[in-house]
Amino acid sequence: MTDRRKFLKTSALASAALLVNACSNDKPKANTKVNKPIVLSTWRFGIEANQAAWAILSKNGKALDAVEAGVMVPEGDPKERSVGYGGRPDRDGRITLDACIMDELSNIGSVAGLEFIKHPISVARAVMEKTPHVMLVGDGALQFALSQGFKKENLMVEESEKEWKEWLKDSEYKPIANIENHDTIGMIALDSHGNLSGACTTSGMAFKMHGRVGDSPIIGAGLYVDNEVGAATATGHGEEVIRIAGCHLVVELMRQGKTPQQACEEAVARVVKLMDLRKKDLKDIQVGFIALNKNGETGSYCVQSGFNYAVYDASGNRLIDAGYHIKV
């Protein structure tokens, strides 16, 4: 090759590379290889939850069905002490559950402060599919659930009752980051048809005030899905997630061209900034986000170490430690 041809070829390659870089902030390209199906969920119990979701996704099932089936696993497990059956009570000793679900058409359903029902996510789905509304709370949510044939059950397990009685001695609400406040399951999935859905379910912060609602049942805070762009879900101190409309923020950042990782990092930076502004100690809280875009690319970030999440795709099911802001 002559020097001139070599030069032309190299500069053509260089401009192509520049072009790719310039475009890398754009929305996913139609010809990009999409990593699907894929499912992500928060915390270590995400591994088992992902398995249930994968059973559906791997047979070309819908992301909506997969996320519902996935989060039902910890909901139904009394050993998981912050979701569904076996969840920790509020300070009055009542187990009040929050959950929401969102599909690829932006159908949404949510319940907050729901008592006595083991699978609040399925009630949220029923709100989405069978009512003209998007959110039911407290007694109204329970009445609706019963009318739909859900069974009224005692969700309190011995350990939760013991812990609550212990807590009552000082009655001090000081959630320990990563311990008393964690274990909401948020799950987001992209199915083989290229559609996204998400679900989020929790018993909320342990020993919260009765009537307190966190981010988890609030569309845009604890969960958000936009089938053109991506999906995100959150865990940790719900008040801080609501303050920044967390998951909507993550999805909008992806719409603007951020990768899922960059979007999660920027949302955490927003939490940090508002904690600073309000002179609150960041070490007292945890907030974590996970995100997925239309290409099946993933991201995660949190305030402090200790948050992990599970990813299941063609490469298998694995637990990943999220990057974190406080580097001590």
Q: Which active-site residues does the annotation give?
A: 184
Q: How many beta carbons lie within 10 A of that of residue 47, not counting itself?
A: 18
Minimum CB distance to ligand SD4, residue 143 (Å)? 23
Of 70, 87, 238, 296, which one interacts with ligand SD4 (CB under 6 A)? 238
Q: Confirm or reject binding of residue 184 to ligand SD4 (CB under 6 A).
A: yes
Kindly indicate which of the ranges 28-36, 161-169, 199-207, 273-281 contains the residues binding ligand SD4, using the contact rule CB under 6 A: 199-207
Gap between the Cα atoms of 282 and 302, Å rounded: 11
* Binding track, positions 127-166, relative to ligand SD4; x by CB under 6 A: ----------------------------------------
Of 52, 155, 156, 205, which one interacts with ligand SD4 (CB under 6 A)? 205
Minimum CB distance to ligand SD4, residue 15 (Å)? 47
Kindly indicate which of the ranges 22-30, 32-40, 146-154, 234-242 contains the residues binding ligand SD4, using the contact rule CB under 6 A: 234-242
The number of residues that bind ligand SD4 (CB under 6 A) is 15
Kindly indicate which of the ranges 5-13, 14-22, 130-138, 232-240 contains the residues binding ligand SD4, using the contact rule CB under 6 A: 232-240
Gap between the Cα atoms of 174 and 172, Å rounded: 6
Q: In the β-sheet with 316-321, what is the strand arrangement from edge to edge? A: 135-137, 108-114, 97-102, 196-202, 185-190, 38-42, 308-313, 316-321
Q: Confirm or reject binding of residue 236 to ligand SD4 (CB under 6 A).
A: yes
Q: Confirm or reject binding of residue 216 to ligand SD4 (CB under 6 A).
A: yes
Q: Which of residues 68-107 bind ligand SD4 (CB under 6 A)?
A: 82
CA dihedral 66, 67, 73, 76 (to 10 degrees): -120
Q: Confirm or reject binding of residue 204 to ligand SD4 (CB under 6 A).
A: yes
Kindly indicate which of the ranges 31-39, 224-232, 235-243, 273-281 contains the residues binding ligand SD4, using the contact rule CB under 6 A: 235-243
Instruction: Identify the bridge partners of residue 293 per DSSP, sorted by sequence position.
Output: 230
Q: Confirm or reject binding of residue 294 to ligand SD4 (CB under 6 A).
A: no
Q: What are phi and psi of 157, to 5 degrees?
A: -105, 160
The CA angle 42-47-51, to the nearest 5 degrees, is 120
Task: Answer whether 171's CB lies under 8 Å from 91's CB.
Answer: yes
What is the residue whose two structure tokens read 């008040």? 239
Q: Which residue from 299, 273, 303 is spatially nearest to 182, judged by alpha carbons?
A: 303
Q: Confirm or reject binding of residue 217 to ligand SD4 (CB under 6 A).
A: no
Q: Would you say 76 or 306 has its CB closer to ligand SD4? A: 306
CA dihedral 113, 117, 122, 126 (to 10 degrees): -70
Here the tokens at position 174 are 């000081």
Q: Would you say 108 or 242 has its CB closer to ligand SD4? A: 242
Binding site for ligand SD4 (CB under 6 A): 82, 181-184, 202, 204-205, 214-216, 235-238
